[in-house]
Structure 1
Amino acid sequence: MVHASTITVTMKRSFDVSADRVFDAWLNPEMMRKWLFTMESTNKVAKNEPHVGGTWEIVDHRGGKDYRAIGEYIEIDPPNRLVFTFKMPQFSDTEDRITVECKPLEKGCEMTFTQVIVVPHEEGWTEKDIEQALREYHDSTEQGWNFMFLGVKQLVETGKINYPSP
């Protein structure tokens, strides 16, 4: 049995478009390939079966390597709530759970994103080691989603993403 802890990352973002448009960005493969764990120029695969029990897959090619993200849909209630699993098999057997909730505002919508991250413990870790790992997972996850959420905001509001220069 692998020992592990969990940490939760919760983020809110406002969009100047309807909840339907934001929700679609999470499920439409043509939109997913532009922002979800990938960029249009580096995306090799964007597959999606958007129904409960259906799966999704993104393969991004960077630095000569393929990075594969996969998951399964647990709940789909357009445009209000989406719950799915997230896993990157080349790095770990752990599986995170992501919940996306969209609520309409007077102008646009607000998205609340929550990821429950499973952090496996290495042999011999102390409580201090575990706390440090949890902090690092939280901060790096939040940083990655911040970047992706900038892209999806541009995509749903303008129809394109202005990627930063490498």
Structure 2
Amino acid sequence: MENYSTTTLKMIRNFDVMPERVFDAWVNPGMMRKWFFTLEGTNKVAQNDPQVGGAWEIIDHRDGKDYRAIGEYLEMDRPNKLVFTFKMPQFSEAADTITVELQEHQKGCEMTFSQNITVPHEENWTESDIEKALGEYHDGSEHGWNLMFMGLKELVETGQVSYKG
């Protein structure tokens, strides 16, 4: 892919549990299927091989369609840091890189989430088209992660997710 730009989304969330619990929610398939890009009721596949070089995959069924997200683990330091790729092949071959850093605090932990978002350019795009696309990808990703992080917080703090989408 030659013609693309990148933008970075950074979000910080606090949890009333230890970092190990949040880290596990990112890599344990049973926990992933309840919040990560999917909900338990719409999830068809949640599998992974949580080690450096290992792959993960989620398939979610929404509105009569399957949505597949895949990636590979690049770095894993439980419970402090997780780095992996994120790709949705039905939309693009572009792979984003996601970094999750967890820091223990007195009353739980803080998660710093960063996503390097790859935005493919279309033919004949102007600078303003590129800027607009970067903003839309950033804002759309932020909206999606906000919803997912609400489920993540509920899952790690209560053991279940009540949000049904």
- Which TM class, normalised by the smaller chain length? over 0.9
Q: Deviations over 1:52-86 (max 9, x none)?
A: 00000000001111000000000000000000000
Counterpart Cα distance in 1 of 2:50 and 2:113:
18
How far, CA to CA, are the matches of 1:78 and 1:150 in structure 2?
22
Q: The residue matched to 2:38 in structure 1 has which SS?
A: coil
- TM-score computed with the length of structure 2 as normaliser: 0.98
Return the offset for 1:45.
0.1
Distance 1:2 1:33 in 2: 34
Runs of 4+ in 1 over 4 A off after TM superposition: none
The alignment's C-alpha RMSD in Å is 0.8
Instruction: Give me the whole-angstrom Cα distance separating, in 2, the residues matched to 1:16 and 1:48.
Output: 26
Q: Which runs of 5+ in 1 are unaligned?
A: none
Aligned to 1:123: 123
1:73: which partner in 2?
Answer: 73
Give the Cα separation in 1 of the matches to 2:108 and 2:158: 14
The equivalent of 2:152 in structure 1 is 152
CA separation in 1, counterparts of 2:33 and 2:147? 15
Deviation, 1:2, is 2.9
Q: Give the secondary-structure state (helix, strand or coil) at the position aligned to 2:6.
A: strand
- 2:26 is aligned with 1:3: no
Report sequence identity in percent: 67
- TM-score, normalised to structure 1, is 0.98
The number of equivalent residue pairs is 165
The alpha-carbon deviation at position 162 of structure 1 amounts to 1.1
